[in-house]
Amino acid sequence: MPGHSSLTVRRLGATDILVLYHLVQQAFPEMERRRWMDVGRRMSVQRKRPRQGILVAQYGTRGLPCAMATYRRDFDIRFGQVLTSDHCIVMTPGDAQQVIDAFHPVMTQLAQELGCHAMRTMQPIAKMTTLPQKVCPAEHIVERTLLLTEINGFSPPA
């Protein structure tokens, strides 16, 4: 991207939590700051072999975070241990492909460190456009899209 240095990806640190609230609130407007701070603190705890956490992307080494992706180690009946990424939130939608491409090798390495045999990434459904949207690494085939259906008006707690 012109004018930007390359993206760096790292695990969430304690100093990122408050800065990322604006990004989280864009994706989940109902999330209260206190709730996000609790989630952020829990996800930023540095463990030797983390089972869950958040990765943060930023331009260069001194820029503010521009994207984040959650991850957790799960069990899959076909693959055994898998690394699942539920939420990838990007500040500027035009940067989505570059951000996904930056997260992918870090997620792959993390999956290997955690003994996972596969990665599962769930992307938000974009509004329909005339151009097909691609937000996965170039060498991948989109296998499926997962949807959440609210039952009887159920909404996640804020």
**Beta-carbon count within 10 A of 37 CB:** 13
* For the ranges 2-6, 40-44, 114-118, 143-147, the one whose mean pLDDT is highest: 40-44
User: Which pLDDT band, with edges at 50, 70 and 90, does 139 fall under?
Assistant: low
pTM, two decimals, is 0.74
What is 89-149 written as a DSSP string?
EESSGGGHHHHHHHHHHHHHHHHHHTT-SEEEE--PPPPP-SSPP--S-TT----------
Mean pLDDT value across residues 11-19: 91
